[in-house]
Every structure is written in structure tokens, then in C-alpha cells.
């Protein structure tokens, strides 16, 4: 048994689960509003991509992806900059890190009503919430990465006559890259969660709107299809970023 590659066993398990799910919905009298069998969900996913199933799929998916992209770009740039600032001097770090830690400990979701009240129900509130959920891990990882740089490297570079800027870009940043990049990867996942949560709580456009539309109208197959597509976007995005991370670290 141990000669079977783990990936294959994993696949077999998932397929078995789908088979049980299919059989359970076919053979028992579970209400179709509650659970749609995988075969129907799969067919629905095909129809969603063909544009036949839910209203304006590509428009809504595009909006969600654009919100994620904008939120992540801002979170990444400001997160790294703030991380650099926090790590730049001990005094600044000691002054602001407790504040950041307290903010980090608060579940950001309770600030969402405040955000919506202040900047409205449009894209800006979802993007802001995505930034808020994603940025902290980027700040902390950037600061931690820069702090754990071997001080001897910096001393050596200094004695070789490198300037401050050159030391930062040629020595400190590359040495901290691995931790910073893993912060950027985690931050990306959190940003996606933030944007989609925002869409689901204040419904007007995007994939959140489609999920809500399907659930309110009891279009169960469509609901499962859109939920799976949204989850798949999360999975694919995470895979892409981990791939990039691994390439850059090398």
C-alpha cells in the first residue's frame, strides 16, 4: 500500500467522497434544495462558464478579481513599506508594534460595518476590507524577515564600502526575501477572503452577489457551482503565488 504515491491516494479519496455524495443524493430522499448531486453541479459549472446559468457570470467574476487585484496591490506595497519602517529602527518598532499587534488581534470583521458606514457600499468598501484583512501578516513578516538578517552580513558589506541604500537592496532585502515572500503569500489568501466576505455581507455585485442570488432563489445547483468556482479561484490563486514564491526564493 505504501508504494502508492500519496497524491494518487488523495485523488482516490476525493473521488470516493464524490461517489458517496452522488449516491447519497440519488438513493435517499434528501431534499434537492439542500444538496445537489456532484454530477448536476458539474454540469451546472459547465453551464456557468458557457454563460447560460447565472446572470452576467464573467462581469461579476471580473469585478471580484479586479477588487482582489487592487486590494492586494495596495496591501502588498503598503504592507512591505510599513514592515520596512517598523524594522528600520528599534524605537519606531517598539512604538508602533504594540498598536499593530492589538489591531491584528481584533477580528477585522467587526470593523466592516464601520467601513461600510464611512465609505459606502461600493467597490471601495470591499477593497478596503480586503486590504485590512491582508496587510498585517505582510507587515509582520517583512519586519521579522529584516530583523533576522545576520548582522555580520551588514557589517561585512559596510566594511566593503557599500552605502546604506546598496546594503539594503543588495544584502538585507535578499536575505529577508524568504520570510517576506511567505508573508506576501499568506496576505494574498487573506485578501481574497476579505474581499469575498465583504461581497457576501453587503451584496450588490461580484461573485458574492451570484452566491447570494442563487441562495436567495433556492437555485441549489447554481449555488454549489458558484461556491465551488469561488473556492477554486482561491485554490488556483494560492497555487500560483506559492509557485512564484518558490521560484523567487531560489
Partner 1 sequence: MMSSAKRDHYLALTIRTIAILLFLLLWYLAVKLEWIDSMFLASPLDTLQHLIPVTRKAAPDLYATLTSFSVAFVTGVLFALLVGFVLSISDYNRKVFVPLLVLGVTIPKVTLMPLFILWFGIEQLPIIVFGALSAFFPMVVNVLSATGEVKPNQILLAKAMGFSRLQIYRKVIFPAMLPVLISGLFYACNAAMMGVFIVELALARHGLGAFVHDLAMTFRTADMYAAVVLTASITVFINMALWYGARYFGRWRV
CB of 116 to partner 1, least distance (A): 7
Q: Which stretch binds partner 1 (CB under 8 A): 53-61, 77-85, 90-98, 140-148?
A: 90-98
Measured distance CA(116)–CA(122) in Å, rounded: 8
Cell of 175: 536575505
Interaction between residue 32 and partner 1 (CB under 8 A): no
State the binding string over 220-239 for partner 1 (x if CB under 8 A, else -). x--xx--x--xx--xx--x-
Measured distance CA(103)–CA(81) in Å, rounded: 18
**CA 178 to centroid of chain Cα atoms:** 18
Among 32, 94, 148, 243, binds partner 1 (CB under 8 A): 94
Cell of 193: 477572503
Cell of 9: 491516494
Cell of 92: 519606531
Interaction between residue 98 and partner 1 (CB under 8 A): yes
* Contact present, 58 and 51 (Cβ < 8 Å): yes
Which residues contact partner 1 by CB under 8 A? Answer: 1-2, 6, 9-10, 13, 33-34, 90-96, 98-99, 102, 105-114, 116-118, 189, 192-193, 196-197, 200-201, 207, 211-212, 214-215, 220, 223-224, 227, 230-231, 234-235, 238
Amino acid at each position: 500500500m505504501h508504494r502508492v504515491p500519496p497524491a494518487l491516494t488523495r485523488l482516490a479519496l476525493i473521488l470516493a467522497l464524490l461517489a458517496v455524495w452522488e449516491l447519497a443524493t440519488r438513493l435517499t430522499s434528501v431534499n434537492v434544495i439542500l444538496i445537489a448531486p456532484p454530477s448536476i453541479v458539474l454540469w451546472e459549472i459547465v453551464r456557468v462558464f458557457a454563460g447560460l446559468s447565472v446572470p452576467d457570470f464573467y462581469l461579476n467574476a471580473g469585478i471580484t478579481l479586479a477588487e482582489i487585484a487592487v486590494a492586494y496591490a495596495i496591501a502588498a506595497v503598503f504592507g512591505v513599506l510599513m514592515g520596512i519602517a517598523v524594522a528600520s529602527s528599534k524605537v519606531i518598532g517598539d512604538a508602533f508594534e504594540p498598536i499593530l499587534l492589538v489591531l491584528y488581534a481584533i477580528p477585522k470583521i467587526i470593523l466592516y460595518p464601520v467601513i461600510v458606514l464611512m465609505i459606502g457600499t461600493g467597490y471601495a468598501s470591499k477593497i478596503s476590507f480586503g486590504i485590512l484583512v491582508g496587510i498585517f501578516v505582510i507587515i509582520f513578516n517583512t519586519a521579522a524577515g529584516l530583523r533576522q538578517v545576520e548582522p555580520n552580513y551588514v557589517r561585512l558589506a559596510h566594511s566593503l564600502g557599500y552605502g546604506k541604500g546598496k546594503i539594503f537592496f543588495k544584502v538585507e532585502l535578499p536575505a529577508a526575501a524568504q520570510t517576506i515572500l511567505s508573508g506576501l503569500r499568506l496576505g494574498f489568501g487573506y485578501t481574497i477572503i476579505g474581499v469575498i466576505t465583504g461581497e457576501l455581507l453587503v451584496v450588490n455585485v461580484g461573485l458574492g452577489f451570484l452566491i447570494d442570488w442563487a441562495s436567495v432563489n433556492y437555485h441549489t445547483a447554481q449555488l454549489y457551482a458558484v461556491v465551488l468556482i469561488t473556492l477554486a479561484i482561491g485554490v488556483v490563486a494560492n497555487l500560483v503565488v506559492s509557485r512564484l514564491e518558490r521560484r523567487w526564493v531560489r
